[in-house]
Structure 1
Amino acid sequence: MSSPPLLQLEGISRRFGAVQALQDTSLTVRPGTVHALLGENGAGKTTLMRVVFGLLAPDGGRVLWNGAPLAIASPSEALRTGIGMVHQHFTLVPAMTVAENVALGGAGRFDRAQAEARVNAVAARAGLALDAQARVDTLPVGAQQRCEIVKALARDVRLLILDEPTAVLAPSESADLLAWMRRFADAGNAVVLITHKLRDALAVADDVTVLRGGRTVYTARAAASTEGALAGAMIGAGEADGTARADVRSSEGASTRSPAIRTTAHTSVVLALDHASWRDERGIVRVRDASMAVHAGEIVGIAAVEGSGQHELLRLLAGRYEAAAGRVQRPARVGFVPEDRHRDALLLDAPLYENAALDGAGGRRGRMPWGPLRARTTELLARFDVRASGPVAVARTLSGGNQQKFVLGRELDEQPQALVVENPSRGLDFKATAAVQQALRDARDGGTAVVVYSSDLDEVLMLADRVYVMHAGAVREVRGDREAVGRAMLGEETANGGNANGGTGREGAR
């Protein structure tokens, strides 16, 4: 007699006001398997898993655990049941040690020695290298993720939900995490992997489910699935839809190719750093003796593990920071698209035409030309396919993808000489990602010097003509395949990577 599913969701529904987030949604997770959960942004993936983890109560349907009905009212109940969840945005306390974070939520008096021993034992059993005494804010992002996993495993969970776990990892770290998932499942446990990366899903999953509009629209064995079928299910097109297949090739096929220098008529240097350094308010050097150059008509990619200084480097190039040492060359106007559009790029409660005025606002004098700005905003919405009711629409009412297209369109509206973009597709769904990436290519082809950093290395390799890698504040140009770039991200030397501080000495010519 076969064993029942470890987890079974039947007819789950959940509404937020007028929005039906989940509707008659189903999912079956077999013991001993990795189950990939796919879908565009807003499809309901995380909402469904929050129901499983006790963060949300369903409006209808039922949850079964080992074949028996289960009602989970809180994450603590989920953990006691054997269900753990590692969220996309970590929930660790930075000022605490690994052991202290793992012990949070436990019962009784905190015993430091006992907590550290527990972390060491769980980490060793799982094959996850972790220093129990290290403060979390000193750990690289890969180690922080291992801490989140150990925190769940210390509760003896049998089902682990991982929400976009490879989004901020270097390639070798991603490979290690996928291999660990496989081992965890092979031991009789199960993993639900929420991901946008079709390559990751097909590489490690046994089963695949796709949600669209809060409904289950596809479920199958991974071995019987293709990237085209999954993409078609995600966006509502069939396997025969050529657009869906082309999108998959562009977003997934880049992982194996080497960044290549394009031959263009544009050869002038537009953006450059010459032994530039920058330190934060505490005096910590974040960018160290950096030299690099970006030419007109090319996309230069920045690859880095979180905390390597890439965010500060981008702001140096964009003119938001001034170098503490060395020299920065930049044109009069540099467009800048920060990764946190809500905090750094939009006035969420203002109309779009007022948000359009933020472009160049620091250099404006006199009365605002509101009439022309409304007309310009109307043209911008049409040109960049921003779905909004018009220029008076409030920025907050737009979807994340349309907000990103608006910010990018605003920065590109008058064809700047240079554009600096940070995580252009983070949080965007399949179609919005494709639109934003195409806008970057169009800007390059129009002669703009484009710099792109993405925490998704595949996106960097797909977009970039050349790649610079940052590690510990230093920058160098790397020529080679995905593996070479990944090694450089972790600080390893590469045979073709140039020197650690200044690329390859080819800044003046291509």
Structure 2
Amino acid sequence: MRGGDAKAPPQDVVLRLKGIVKKFSGVVANDSVDFDLKVGEIHALLGENGAGKTTLVNVIYGLYQPDSGEIWIRGSKVNIDSPARALSLGIGMVHQSFTLVPSFSVVENVALGLKGFSSLRVVAEKVKQISELYGLSVDPYAKVWQLSVGEMQRVEIIKLLLRDVDILILDEPTSVLTPKETRALFSTLKRLKDEGKSVVFISHKLNEVMEISDRITVMRKGLVINTVRKEDTSPGELAKMMVGREISLGPSKRRSSTSFGEVVLEVKDLEAYGDKGIKVLRGLSFSVREGEILGIAGVAGNGQRELAEVLVGLRRASSGVVLFDGEDITNKGSMVFIEKGGGFIPEDRKRFGVAPNLSLVENLILKSYRKPPFSKGLFLDLDYANKVADFLIEKYSIQSPGKDMPVRLLSGGNLQRLVIARELEGKVRLLIAFHPTFGLDVGAMEFVYEKLLEAKASGTAVLLIAGDLDEIFTLSDRIKVIYEGKLYGDFPPDESYLETIGMLMAGVINGYKA
């Protein structure tokens, strides 16, 4: 690590970054970043995708080595050349991209690198204790490949909480928690803070940041824009610092209707089994009309993934009926769903939304390349495909190194723009949007909100499946709650129902019938 020694930080600073520079192939990801984390402080880190947040915390955790600058831990200048070194210094991190072995069980993943436990049974007991303490429900013996994205994130949180660290880096830890579970986690973080632990808290939920953090650092294009005390700022000011313009994500953006068109999607007594052979959908019935957004709220792992997959033809229903514009499409496959005018935004865009090694052009025409005017007999009209891709890239503002480059090089926000461009272009009768803003910054979230509302305004029926209640309340015309494979309630997007919905998500049914 190059750069002259700086004066040692004061005793109340547990972590100091001074003049951190990190470049990738000439692109500056961190540009002379200064950052202080105090003892007993919860410090939020905000910024758009590509702002440099992830690079910065990866430097702290030893995954990247800075090109210049200094890192100080508890008053001593250190060189963190690996995650093992970071852990030895008392630094723990939950990554945005999970570091789990898919073929291993939850307890086996948690046990990796964990010292002081005599057997997997003992580790499993600790996992159960942490799960109960934080409401992070997960089966210790389930294979990771069987888990939802939310459940995988819970395993990462549990791994961190089981290690004796003084500096905790949490990357959106509450994104799949109910309000009750979030309050419990915040209570725990505050207790850790009171004990002298320090937390770097990365979140895209501005109201959440205002609630839990002591100070907030905003990054944009590799630079630190400002560090402020939460008492001296507001969600609106933070959003403006992040993107350089005014942002609106509130309920005022909703264009609610009191009447809707014909029923597009009707589901009757739907049941299905999960990957473990256990019934996970138990008698679901609901409908969605033209120009309506029906929100399905719930904590991950309660049947949301299976519901979405059954509706779009990727999983078989064991019983029940799925009607699309009156036609029974139950178990007829995804091509029938697409041909009827169905669109699907999956929860994990990298795994299920794109072919990562194919180009932007190829990904944008995945639903259409078999049909004219894209196909001419056995051949693909590449000129036409490129023209359509150019149009969509401009219309949806997809930023990329080039349309012929593999889409794995795109940021999360631009990947989601690509998926939305493909799924919403043309005549879309029904859109299944499953966690459409998971892991996105406020700028990308605003874009997704706008496109979903535009789809609604054009008459598309939208089924929104999400765990973020702010998102559900902002976009939905009606709200139902899914818990253990059953649907409860039928609520308007009125905040007076927020606590009731949160309790239902946590399994407190209180007489509500499925």
User: TM-score surpassing 0.5?
Assistant: yes
Would the aligned equivalents of 1:347 and 1:355 in 2 still touch at CA under 8 Å? yes
Aligned residue for 1:475, secondary structure, equals strand
2:70 aligned to which of 62, 67, 81? 62
Same amino acid, percent of matched pairs: 37
Of stretches 361-370 and 327-336 in structure 1, the one that deviates more from structure 2 is 361-370
Structure 2 distance, partners of 1:279, 1:398, is: 34
| Cα 1:371–1:308 shift into 2, 3 Å | same
Aligned-pair CA distance for 1:147 = 6.0
2:19 aligned to which of 5, 11, 16? 11
Which residue number corresponds to residue 291 of structure 2?
297
Aligned-pair CA distance for 1:55 = 2.0
Aligned-pair CA distance for 1:404 = 1.9
Would the aligned equivalents of 1:141 and 1:169 in 2 still touch at CA under 8 Å? no
Matched letter for residue 379 of structure 1: F
**Alignment of 1:262 onto 2:266:** no
Instruction: Deviation per CA, 1:329-366: give whole Å up to 9, x if none.
Output: 01422111223333333334434443333224577783
Would the aligned equivalents of 2:138 and 2:154 in 1 still touch at CA under 8 Å? no
Structure 2 distance, partners of 1:55, 1:391, is: 30
Which residue number corresponds to residue 452 of structure 2?
440
**Alignment of 1:202 onto 2:210:** yes
Structure 2 distance, partners of 1:185, 1:296, is: 49
What is the aligned length?
Answer: 481
Structure 2 distance, partners of 1:278, 1:218, is: 50
**Alignment of 1:135 onto 2:135:** no
Structure 1 distance, partners of 2:147, 2:386, is: 47
Instruction: Deviation per CA, 1:40-93: give whole Å up to 9, x if none.
Output: 111121221122122221111111112221222222222222222223355456
Aligned-pair CA distance for 1:311 = 1.3
**Alignment of 1:75 onto 2:70:** no
Which residue number corresponds to residue 433 of structure 2?
421
Which residue number corresponds to residue 309 of structure 1?
303
Instruction: Deviation per CA, 1:447-477: give whole Å up to 9, x if none.
Output: 1101122232221221111122211122234
Which residue number corresponds to residue 219 of structure 2?
211
2:56 aligned to which of 48, 61, 76? 48
Would the aligned equivalents of 1:260 and 1:466 in 2 still touch at CA under 8 Å? no
Of stretches 152-161 and 299-308 in structure 1, the one that deviates more from structure 2 is 152-161
Would the aligned equivalents of 1:15 and 1:22 in 2 still touch at CA under 8 Å? yes
Would the aligned equivalents of 2:346 and 2:353 in 1 still touch at CA under 8 Å? yes
| Cα 1:123–1:311 shift into 2, 3 Å | closer
| Cα 1:233–1:96 shift into 2, 3 Å | same
| RMSD (Å), alpha carbons | 3.4
Would the aligned equivalents of 2:270 and 2:321 in 1 still touch at CA under 8 Å? yes
Matched letter for residue 16 of structure 1: F
Of stretches 426-435 and 269-278 in structure 1, the one that deviates more from structure 2 is 426-435
Would the aligned equivalents of 2:437 and 2:448 in 1 still touch at CA under 8 Å? yes
**Alignment of 1:489 onto 2:497:** no
1:318-397 correspondence runs (5 A)? 318-331=312-325, 332-360=340-368, 366-367=377-378, 368-387=380-399, 394-397=406-409
Task: Give TM-score, length-normalised by structure 1.
Answer: 0.83
Structure 2 distance, partners of 1:139, 1:53, is: 26
Of stretches 54-63 and 350-359 in structure 1, the one that deviates more from structure 2 is 350-359
Structure 1 distance, partners of 2:271, 2:227, is: 51
Which residue number corresponds to residue 473 of structure 1?
485
Of stretches 464-473 and 276-285 in structure 1, the one that deviates more from structure 2 is 276-285
Structure 2 distance, partners of 1:344, 1:298, is: 25
Aligned residue for 1:6, secondary structure, equals strand
Instruction: Deviation per CA, 1:144-182: give whole Å up to 9, x if none.
Output: 767655644554321111111111212211111112111
Task: Give TM-score, length-normalised by structure 2.
Answer: 0.83
Structure 2 portions without partners, runs of 5+ = 1-8, 326-339
1:188 aligned to which of 187, 196, 215? 196
Which residue number corresponds to residue 105 of structure 1?
113
Structure 2 distance, partners of 1:345, 1:401, is: 13
Structure 2 distance, partners of 1:219, 1:9, is: 14
Would the aligned equivalents of 1:92 and 1:136 in 2 still touch at CA under 8 Å? no
Matched letter for residue 173 of structure 1: E
Aligned-pair CA distance for 1:310 = 0.7
Would the aligned equivalents of 2:424 and 2:455 in 1 still touch at CA under 8 Å? yes
Aligned-pair CA distance for 1:323 = 2.4
| Cα 1:141–1:322 shift into 2, 3 Å | closer
Aligned-pair CA distance for 1:377 = 3.0
Instruction: Deviation per CA, 1:17-44: give whole Å up to 9, x if none.
Output: 2322111111111111111111111112
Structure 2 distance, partners of 1:139, 1:358, is: 27
Aligned-pair CA distance for 1:213 = 1.4
Structure 2 distance, partners of 1:180, 1:455, is: 21
1:455 aligned to which of 467, 476, 495? 467
Structure 1 distance, partners of 2:230, 2:368, is: 49
Aligned residue for 2:445, secondary structure, equals helix
**Alignment of 1:25 onto 2:25:** no
Structure 2 distance, partners of 1:461, 1:371, is: 43
Instruction: Deviation per CA, 1:80-126: give whole Å up to 9, x if none.
Output: 2222222335545675465x655432458835677678779x959x9
Structure 1 portions without partners, runs of 5+ = 238-242, 501-510
Matched letter for residue 156 of structure 1: D
